[in-house]
Structure 1
Amino acid sequence: MFVVTGYLTINPDLRAEAEAAIAAFVPATRAEAGCIDYRMSTDVLDPTIINGVEIWEDQAAIDAHMGSAHMAEFMGAIGSCLGGEATFTSHEVSSSTKII
């Protein structure tokens, strides 16, 4: 299993456009084979930050996601909305335990 974490820094003047791009992108991603969970949400301490958490069955699912048409469309739409850094990191996880 792979967990991907990261964030997008959004230009506050383009917040509505960013939210529209995300709203179209997330359901398409959640429907992908190998996607266990996919979430994007506003950071409660900094509304210019959109945090992302993804859970994938395997690297092949991530690779397919990265090459999907809706990913290309999203990257084109979100790119103009960025106001700073965007970074995501993949973590290979061998096990997990629910703590709450």
Structure 2
Amino acid sequence: MVIVVGVARVRPGCLGDVEDAARRMAVATRSDPGCHLYRFAADLEDPETIVSVEMWADRAALDSHLAHAHTTEFLAQVTSLVEGTPEMTFHDTLPVDLR
């Protein structure tokens, strides 16, 4: 299993656009093969900071997701809406039964 955690700071005045894009992305991604979890949330201490949490069956599922049109379109859209480069961490774990 691969867990991905992302953190991005939203540019002033762009939060609504990021939230809309994130909602569409989450809905599209949850049906990707191997996706166990895909969520966005606001940091409780800083609502202008968006956190993403993803859980994938394996690296192949994550790589396939990264190649999908909805992923490349999302990344192209939000690049101008966030400050700097989002921080992403990748964690390989043992498989977990999520049922």
Point out the more displaced range, 56-65 or 87-96. Answer: 87-96
Aligned length: 98
* Deviation, structure 1 residue 95: 5.4
* Deviation, structure 1 residue 12: 2.6
* Secondary structure of residue in 2 paired with 1:25: helix
The root-mean-square deviation of aligned C-alpha atoms, in Å, is: 1.8
Distance 2:14 2:32 in 1: 28
Distance 2:29 2:79 in 1: 18
Please list the CA deviations of residues 45-89 of structure 1 after superposition, one character each: whole Å capped at 9, or x if unmatched. Answer: 011110111000000000001111000110111111112441111
**Structure 2 match to 1:16:** 16
**Structure 1 match to 2:25:** 25
Please list the CA deviations of residues 8-42 of structure 1 after superposition, one character each: whole Å capped at 9, or x if unmatched. Answer: 11113111111111111111111100000011100
| TM-score normalised to structure 1 length | 0.90
| Residue 50 (structure 2) pairs with residue 50 (structure 1) | yes
Distance 1:78 1:37 in 2: 21
Question: Which structure 1 residue ranges, 4+ long, deviate > 4 Å from structure 2?
Answer: none
Point out the more displaced range, 87-96 or 48-57. Answer: 87-96
**Contact map agreement 1:38 1:52 (CA 8 A) in 2:** yes
**Structure 2 match to 1:65:** 65
Query: More strand per residue: 1 or 2?
Result: 2
